[in-house]
Amino acid sequence: MHIRNYDLLPPGHIGSLKIKGSLSARIQGIVDNDPASTRRKTSFHFQAKKLIISDKFYPVRGEILVNAFGRHDFYYGDELILEGSLHRPFNFSANPSFSYPEYLKSQGIYYLLEVGKEREIIFLGRDKGNLFISLAFRIKQRLKGIFEKYLQPLNSAVLSAITLGDRQGLPAQIREDFTRTGTAHIIAISGFNVGIVVFTVLFLLKALRIKRKCRYFLAIPILFIHMCAVGAQASVARATLMAVVVLIGYLLERDTDIINSLSLSALIILGYSPRQIFDIGFQLSFISVLGIVSLSPRIIGWFKLKPKTSPAIRFMVNSLAVSLAAWLSTFWLILYYFRIITPVAILANLIIVPLVSLVIILGFTLCVSALICPAIALPIAVTIDFSMLWLFKIAHQLSGLPFSCFYIGM
């Protein structure tokens, strides 16, 4: 019922337009996310305000996806008038379990605007968006600039992907290696990445000798800024909400339950955007956490560890249990959507996840040192470059192992 109500468009919504083929029009609106630029085009969400056809103005609302071809310097909050071809999205995917129009619909987008190089673009003003989101994007660009300044180009691109959600410069070979090893969740901002952010923030605040409750209180807005900066995808929103629930529990000196936190996060996300329940990332995100919580204790029980078992062995068993539980709970869903099985993921997560955790922590340490004490930033950057070199080598070697992955029906 909530989804049906959510799909009812309000009066004047641009999604209510009945356009056959495409329509040449001008649209006035505001850039509503952090634009993604390539050599060929710049893409962004555009909050429409007016539709202009033959010099007649029609008030509209709703978001469209804009592809502006050529090099453009657009920023969140820019108010523009764009001239282009307005049309419904096409389903270009050969995968029957994925529909591009439905994917955009889950984000509230019903139309695309293609702006050619020769089309008119009128700049009306800047900073018309939400001030909090604008601050988050500015922080993101500042951190991305630090990565580009101190790190090798490839390492900068990958670190921006796993910490800031900026995957524009991610090479195809790196994507393929992580996909074949079942560790693609690392390069897509998820609960794992947010968990490392929480740990790093609390560690740095503790290093500054800030009291415990103040650390939890300060960490909450930092997490929301990070969530807005990386785009507030379902996986990030879920992880952020769970972290906030846990931190509030610590502030109130109350115990937290992981299932309750997960359920509350799901209710909040689906209350705001019920179509997220059909999103692949949303499903994988929640199922993997449920799998880890419910299966990993049983897997640990198989080993029948004794009280005198060394901490190193316990750590290895716990890590193996978490990796195996995550794989068992999600492989069937990954098989359905992506037609791939990755048995090597159990081993790959044991090796790659700790290494990526180290890289993320060092990445945020690099940002803090570059802002406060640039003298120590260079050795940290060298350590990151060295660590990422081994990360890429390990991922590539594991992806090439016999029977590392199987493609089904492709």
CATH of domain 20-129: 2.40.50
What is the SS3 assignment for 102-132?
HHHHCCCEEEEEEECCCCCEEEEECCCCCHH
User: What's the CA gap between 141 and 164, in Å, rounded?
Assistant: 9
Tell me what pLDDT residue 193 has.
72
User: What's the CA gap between 258 and 261, in Å, rounded?
Assistant: 5
Tell me what pLDDT residue 407 has.
78
User: What's the CA gap between 59 and 12, in Å, rounded?
Assistant: 7
Tell me what pLDDT residue 242 has.
78
Q: How far does Cα 12 stand from its chain's mean position?
A: 31
Q: What is the pLDDT along the chain (410 residues), one digit of tens a residue?
A: 888 888 888 888 998 888 888 888 899 999 988 888 888 889 999 999 999 887 788 899 999 999 999 888 888 999 999 999 999 988 776 666 677 888 888 788 899 999 998 888 999 998 888 888 888 888 888 888 999 999 999 899 888 888 887 777 777 888 888 888 888 777 766 666 777 788 888 888 888 888 888 888 888 888 888 887 776 666 677 778 878 887 888 888 777 777 887 888 888 888 888 888 887 778 887 888 888 888 888 888 888 878 777 887 887 888 888 888 888 888 888 888 878 888 888 888 888 888 888 888 898 889 888 988 888 889 999 999 999 999 999 999 988 888 778 877 65
Angle (nearest 5°) at CA 259 between 312 and 1: 150
User: What's the CA gap between 379 and 100, in Å, rounded?
Assistant: 44
User: What's the CA gap between 113 and 23, in Å, rounded?
Assistant: 9
Cβ(326)–Cβ(349) below 8 Å: yes
Angle (nearest 5°) at CA 142 between 136 and 147: 125
Phi/psi of residue 376, nearest 5 degrees: -95, 0
Q: Which runs of consecutive H residues, i.e. helices, occur in 230-310? A: 234-251, 258-272, 280-302
Cβ(17)–Cβ(59) below 8 Å: no
Tell me what pLDDT residue 262 has.
81
Q: Return the H-helix or E-strand segment holding 391.
A: helix 377-399
pLDDT digits (tens, 9 = 90+) for 195-218: 778 888 888 888 888 888 888 888
SS3 281: helix
Length, in residues, of the chain: 410
| In the chain, where the domains are located | 20-129, 133-407
Tell me what pLDDT residue 354 has.
84
Tell me what pLDDT residue 324 has.
84
Quickly count helices (H) and strands (E) in the chain. 13, 10
User: What's the CA gap between 78 and 42, in Å, rounded?
Assistant: 14
Cβ(348)–Cβ(405) below 8 Å: no
Cβ(203)–Cβ(219) below 8 Å: no
Cβ(313)–Cβ(305) below 8 Å: yes
Residue 236: name the closest of 299, 193, 266 by CA.
193
SS3 68: strand
Total-model pTM: 0.78
Tell me what pLDDT residue 119 has.
87
pLDDT digits (tens, 9 = 90+) for 325-340: 888 888 888 888 878 8
pLDDT digits (tens, 9 = 90+) for 275-287: 888 877 788 878 8
Distances from the Cα of 152 to the Cα of 16, 123, 178, 291, 300, angstroms: 47, 35, 20, 37, 40
